[in-house]
Amino acid sequence: MALITLKGGVQKEFPAGTSIADIAKELGMGLYKAACAGKIDGVPCDLRTPVTEDCSVEIVTFDDPDGKHAFWHTASHLLAQAVKRLYPEAKFAIGPAIENGFYYDFDVETPFGPEDLEKIEKEMKKIVKEGLPLEKFELPPEEAVKFLEEKGEPYKVELAEEHAGKGEPISFYKQGEFTDLCAGPHLMSVSPLKAVKLTNCTGAYWRGDANNRQLCRVYGIAFPKASELEEYLTRLEEAKKRDHRKLGKELGLFTIMEEGPGFPFFLPKGMILKNTLIDYWREVHQKAGYHEISTPMILNRSLWERSGHWDHYRENMYTTVIDDTDFAIKPMNCPGGILVYQNDLHSYRDLPLRMGELGVVHRHELSGALHGLMRVRCFTQDDAHIFMTKDQITDEVKGVVSLIDSVYSLFGFKYHVELSTMPEDHMGSDEDWEMATNSLKCALEQLGKPFVINEGDGAFYGPKIDFHLEDSLGRTWQCGTIQLDFQLPERFELEYTGADGEKHRPVMIHRVVFGSIERFIGILTEHFAGAFPVWLSPVQAIVLPISEKQADYARKVKDALAEQGIRVELDDRSEKIGYRIREAQLQKIPYMLVVGDKEAEAGTVSVRARKGVDLGAMSLEDLTAKIKDEIARKVSGLEEE
């Protein structure tokens, strides 16, 4: 018998060799039908996996991330099987589950088009109705390679040969006539894949290497219920409407030109938005005791070697030669911040020393990864570096978490926290890493912030706390981060004089709130669908005279608001008033001020909100007070949506 610890700490005995599927069935048919995969001692596995000894077992459904992974991974095999039936000559690469769905890479003579995807999707639905079970089997490495060679799958052979060096059996999954090299886990059968949709088709290089053959990548999504798929597709359509690249062009915020791929151009209205965010950043950091600095964009190779970036980050850096010496355009601000610290002598009385920098950094990104403002090659990182004593770590981390919380709350974002631990490619001793990681854990626990552990995803110089914010569509974005660093202070031999008169090594925090100004603007644009809060809007009000007769009064209204610091425009074109109101709504301008004869005589304006709500006639004094109050309080504006 095996003693099984279930969710909530409940323990039950089952005969050794009982599968997780049978355990789920014993617990209830509802759970069994909803089950996608299992976990044994926290490790994801198939429902068909037998339990042979005492352990903890968890049954995961589609509501659980591991359940979604198994569901979507099985859907990728369903896609591959459908392609094999329709296009027998296709060669198969990889087909993983991803954050939102799945994809599969195929080597085909002609890339698939919309009509092909429609045929493939139809075939997938046909296979689901066949209810094929998935069966797992293993082969010795040599047999596995031979098996794949006989099937004529060169990409799979390459993967199997790499695995063969480990000397372990190689696992396969079979459904009907289709067999794929795979580690799993998977569903028990294809039957639960009732709602499937292929969403996109792009090119992708094998192994992500531009020197390799370009494959055809097909993306898809799947759900247990048709209603869930419908809801997802509706959200997808809404996301397309909110695409920051589309809105950025329509609202005149930014552009990307062919002369500078990955290097955004900010237009006048975009600069107002960017500078308003920067003003807010300066305001909150000044209150939090930060000193602003600025460091050079280009620094010599010896600095980057000393910091470790030349060895660990070289492929992402742009370099040049000046006076026969190698230089690099900075991909990060931290080495420059360290040089500023070294510029003066410090005592324990100076610490913590908080230095903020809105530094422009450059990082080489592959052209295929570039995406509007979300993934660029040049951006303004809202960096800060805090130098402190070891006994100040917890309080400083708590202070940064509180600052980040206040910023995200202002914009109406929810967020969750991840703690990333030591990666394989790291600097420093295991002891330093353990102390740093425990310090971050302690700060989060004292604040009562729930967090999940992200094993092995820390920076090469230290563990980090990442903030994943959730926008109005429920999508998550990784923005803020807090990285604790014992390594760079050691490499640069940073010092402060302690109360004992001796020299000591400070500890360093790297942190950002927005992540980058550019990316945060992209996220805000989609979060608010371009309808920015009044305090952020590039244009806060627009004056619309009904006819030429009110033109003089309309200009007086505009000038009066502008004198009060309100960003206002005048649209006195000869177009009909209804057309101009509609144009202002499309530009997402918060307030439209219509003036006719009645308003001109009374010295008022007729106020319309951008969602079409008529707020009636208001005096200029009342309107000015209303707008200035919204600006001062930084009202989020989400209540309009």
Per-residue pLDDT of 319-361, as tens digits, reads 999 999 999 999 999 999 999 999 999 999 999 999 999 999 9
State the DSSP H helix or E strand holding residue 386, giving kind and residue range, or none if neither.
strand 378-388
Beta-bridged to residue 217, according to DSSP, are 105, 202
Candidates 383, 471, 485, 571; catalytic one: 383
What span, in angstroms and rounded, lies between the C-alpha atoms of 179 and 151? 10
Residue 163: what pLDDT? 81
The pLDDT-based confidence of 420 (bands split at 50, 70, 90) is: very high
Residue 641: what pLDDT? 40
State the DSSP H helix or E strand holding residue 246, giving kind and residue range, or none if neither.
helix 244-250
Task: List domains and CATH numbers for the chain.
Answer: 2-61 (3.10.20.30), 90-235 (3.30.980.10), 254-296+331-527 (3.30.930.10), 541-640 (3.40.50.800)
Is 383 a residue of the active site?
yes
pTM to 2 decimal places: 0.81
Mean pLDDT of 86-94: 95
Is 334 a residue of the active site?
yes
Strands (E), 25-96: 35-40, 43-45, 50-51, 55-61, 91-92
Is 122 a residue of the active site?
no
Mean pLDDT of 53-73: 94
What span, in angstroms and rounded, lies between the C-alpha atoms of 503 and 348? 10
Is 12 a residue of the active site?
no
Residue 47: what pLDDT? 94
What span, in angstroms and rounded, lies between the C-alpha atoms of 418 and 590? 36
Per-residue pLDDT of 495-511, as tens digits, reads 999 999 999 999 999 99
Candidates 163, 217, 285, 385; catalytic one: 385
Residue 196's contacts (CB-CB under 8 Å, 6 or more residues apart) are 75, 78, 121, 124, 125, 128, 220, 221, 222, 229
What distance separates the 2 farthest-apart alpha carbons in the chain?
93
Lowest mean pLDDT among 248-252, 273-277, 475-479, 488-492: 475-479
SS (H, E, C) 527-586: HCCCCCCCCCCCCCEEEEECCHHHHHHHHHHHHHHHHCCCCEEECCCCCCHHHHHHHHHH
The pLDDT-based confidence of 208 (bands split at 50, 70, 90) is: confident
pLDDT exceeds cutoff 70 at 186: yes
Residue 395's contacts (CB-CB under 8 Å, 6 or more residues apart) are none
Are the beta carbons of 627 and 541 closer than 8 angstroms? yes
Residue 162: what pLDDT? 87
User: What tokens does 184 get?
Assistant: 């799993």
Candidates 156, 334, 571, 587; catalytic one: 334
Does residue 331 have a cis bond before it (omega within 30 degrees)? no
Candidates 381, 392, 550, 587; catalytic one: 381
Q: Are strands 464-470 and 476-485 parallel, antiparallel or unpaired?
A: antiparallel
Is 510 a residue of the active site?
yes
Candidates 242, 285, 464, 519; catalytic one: 464
Residue 400's contacts (CB-CB under 8 Å, 6 or more residues apart) are 386, 482, 509, 511
What span, in angstroms and rounded, lies between the C-alpha atoms of 476 and 474? 7
| Cα–Cα nearest to 83, from 131, 132, 117, 129 | 117
Candidates 84, 244, 363, 426; catalytic one: 363
Is 381 a residue of the active site?
yes
